[in-house]
Each structure stands twice: as structure tokens, then as C-alpha cells.
Amino acid sequence: MSNFRKSQNEAHPNKTNTIMTGIIILQILFVSIQIWFLFGALNNALEGNFYFALTTFVGSALMAVASIWVLRYLPEPLRKKPARKEKPKVSPSRNP
């Protein structure tokens, strides 16, 4: 069974950029809807529609949870792999 994070780290940079772009678009969408919900909740709370205000507040809270949940799919920063240094080959000596 494969590990998502390991596969994501080994993916081609173009695929990583596509994932990053998709996550950014989702975050913008989620935050926009969340602001719209909060605005609706505030207006309805001031007008006395408590039930609708509570419903939009719960919707806004769910959008916040969804935004935080999507963040776990962000790829790790690309890093150059350190060059491996060859260990010196030591032959066993019989004379101490």
C-alpha cells in the first residue's frame, strides 16, 4: 500500500505545481463562501432571524474546517537532495 505523502514528494514538479494551484483555488473559494456566510449570518442576526443566522454560522464553521483539512494536501517544499559522499574503502590490516 502506498503512502500519499511519499508519492507526492516523488512526483514530477509539474504535478506538484498543479496540486498547489488547485489547493490555492479551493482555498480562495472556501474563504469567499465563508465570508459570504458570515455576512449573511450577521445581517440575519441583526434582523432577528436567529435560526437562519445560526444555520449560516454553522455553514461558515464547516467551511473553516474544510479549509484547514485541505491544507494537509499541500506538497512539501522542493529540496535538493544532498550529494552522497562515498565512504573511504578500508582494507583490513593484519598488522596492528
Residue 96 lies in a domain: no
Total domain count, the chain = 1
Residue 11 lies in a domain: yes
At residue 25, does pLDDT exceed 80?
A: yes
- Bigger pLDDT: 64 vs 1: 64
Tens of pLDDT, residue by residue over 29-81, are 999 998 998 888 888 888 888 888 888 888 888 999 999 998 888 877 766 66
Residue 21 lies in a domain: yes
- Bigger pLDDT: 35 vs 87: 35
Residue 65 lies in a domain: yes
Residue 81 lies in a domain: no
pLDDT value for 16: 76
In angstroms, the CA 21 to CA 75 distance is: 11
Report, as an integer, the average pLDDT of 15-42: 88
75, 7 Cβ separation under 8 angstroms: no
- Rg (the chain; Cα; Å): 26
Residue 28 lies in a domain: yes
Range of the domain at 18: 4-73
Residue 82 lies in a domain: no
Residue 80 lies in a domain: no
Q: Is 75 exposed, middle or buried (0-12, 13-18, 19+ CB in 10 A)?
A: middle
Helix (H, G, I), strand (E, B) or coil at 88: coil
